[in-house]
Amino acid sequence: MTTKTETTTQVYQVYIKASPQAIWDAITKPEWSKRYGMGGVVDYELRPGGAYRAYPGEGMKRKGAELGFPIPEVAIDGEVLEADPPHRLVQTFRMLMGDEATTSEGFTRLTWEIAESRPGVSKLTVIHDLEGAPRLAAMSSGEMEDQGAGGGWPEVLSDLKTLLETGRSLSG
């Protein structure tokens, strides 16, 4: 996986031995999202103007309690700006969990691009525009992992790749 971090934009690319449709489903369907990352359950209305919400999984709730951060019923919210299954999803993204400084940073822009690289292998590119959200940028990059905030996009995407290629998450 390659990582490119700039002042306001983080770009991550990973090659996954899976079809674009399998990756799309893993990103947008709750039965998949609860199996990797922090185990959150996503809810997408896959149309421009549609709502996006991520609900915390048990692991996320447990981790929040350990760190003294109550996890709200909706951990992340946003709006779908563009949906072109299974190739491109553009959405807004606002972190509602963690400290007040992170929540007050507001909405950022998240783009998922999925392209078949060769038969059976796809490239997933995640572009997170974090203008005006330095705390979320630190969390997203994994810089706050030692403070209990997890490994950010690098960890989530590694877990997604592992799950799709082996059927098991990094933690299971």
Is the residue at 168 inside a domain?
no
SS3 147: helix
What is the band of 74 on the pLDDT scale with cuts at 50, 70, 90?
Answer: very high
Is the residue at 171 inside a domain?
no
Parallel, antiparallel or unpaired: strands 2-5 and 9-16: antiparallel
List, for residues 41-69, the tens digit of each pLDDT value.
999 999 999 999 999 888 778 877 787 77
- Is pLDDT at 1 greater than 50 in this prediction? no
C-alpha–C-alpha distance, residues 140 and 150, integer Å: 9
The per-residue pLDDT for 39 is 81
The per-residue pLDDT for 99 is 64
| Residue environment code for 31-65, b if the CB has 16+ CB neighbours within 10 A, otherwise e | ebbbbbbbbbbbbbeeeeeeebbbbbbeebbebbe
Whether the link from the prior residue into 86 is cis, omega within 30° of 0, is yes
Instruction: List the CATH number of the domain containing 21.
Output: 3.30.530.20
On whether the CB atoms of residues 130 and 150 are closer than 8 A, the answer is no
Total structural domains within the chain: 1
C-alpha–C-alpha distance, residues 40 and 20, integer Å: 21
Is the residue at 31 inside a domain?
yes
Is the residue at 53 inside a domain?
yes
**What is the domain extent for residue 35?**
2-137+151-163
